[in-house]
Amino acid sequence: MDLKELKQGVDPNTFWYYQTKKLPLIRFITKIYKKHNRKVVLVDVGSGSGFFMYEMERLMPEMIEKIFLVDIGYSDEEIKMTQNQKIEKTLSLPDKIENAIVVMMDVLEHLESDDNMLNEIRNRTSGVNYFFITVPAFMDLWSGHDVYLGHYRRYTSKTLRALLTRTGITNYSMYYLYGAIFPAVWIFRKMVRGKKSNDSDIKPINPVVNSLLKFYHSIEMPLSRMNKLFGVTCAAEGEL
């Protein structure tokens, strides 16, 4: 989770976007756990606040052996306090990534060279490893939101597939999330694109509206793997 979004006063523990975005990740971790019948190691790259990983530990502790929160923003004190704990904060990738799931939730768009990150991860892997990636979708949705968060690009399934191919990743599936709200987001961003409003679109909303969005997208998420056409987010999951 991007730390800049916390500054908007949004509580990820209740906000519809974060509460529904975690659902495909939960499904994927459960799938890998059942496939190998063993606890999983999670390596969360660009983890920020660590919200998604703390949620995984809260919701499925019996499936998780270890979680690495990897982010250059952690202080020496944070790293020291979590050293050798089940959830451990670190500034860099583990030297060896073995039989793990590497998670990159809205990370690659922040990197000038997304190829370098995926190549670095693959160079450290051994055994059977998996990945779960989400990225913002469609440059046509580019707005001050992206500028505020420091994005270099937005993706389509075609451009994300090209990136995975360049880095030697071939066994995966790809789909879009939040397809239902894509038209509304497109219209909104077209209206404000010409304005100089570099600010996050993630802001507190009416609790009733929040509950309705959370309910609706909770229903949509299990069907999202069939959505190959469009959405606000592009997701990919598979084997490294």
* DSSP collapsed to 3 states, 184-235: HHHHHHHHHCCCCCCCCCCCCCCHHHHHHHHHHHHHHHHHHHHCCCCCCEEE
Which pLDDT value is given to residue 1?
A: 62
Spatial separation of the C-alpha atoms in residues 158 and 102, rounded to whole Å: 21
Which pLDDT value is given to residue 145?
A: 87
pTM of the model: 0.93
Q: With cut-offs at 50, 70 and 90, classify the pLDDT of residue 183.
A: very high
Which pLDDT value is given to residue 196?
A: 56
Which pLDDT value is given to residue 20?
A: 97
The answer on pLDDT for 200 being more than 90 is no
- Class (C level, CATH) for 3-239: alpha beta
Across the chain, what does the average pLDDT equal? Answer: 93
- In angstroms and rounded to an integer, the radius of gyration of the C-alpha atoms of the chain is 17
Which pLDDT value is given to residue 195?
A: 57
Which pLDDT value is given to residue 166?
A: 96
191 or 155, which is more confident: 155
Indicate the domain borders of the chain: 3-239
Residues 148-176 pLDDT 10s: 899 999 999 999 999 999 999 999 999 99
Residues 15-63 pLDDT 10s: 999 999 999 999 999 999 999 999 999 999 999 999 999 999 999 999 9
Spatial separation of the C-alpha atoms in residues 6 and 31, rounded to whole Å: 30
For strands 125-126 and 97-98, give the pairing: parallel
Which pLDDT value is given to residue 8?
A: 72
Q: Which two tokens stand for residue 44?
A: 């969360």
> What is the dihedral angle through the alpha carbons of 53, 59, 64, 67, rounded to the nearest 10 degrees?
20
Query: Any idea what DSSP says for residue 108?
Result: G
Spatial separation of the C-alpha atoms in residues 191 and 144, rounded to whole Å: 12
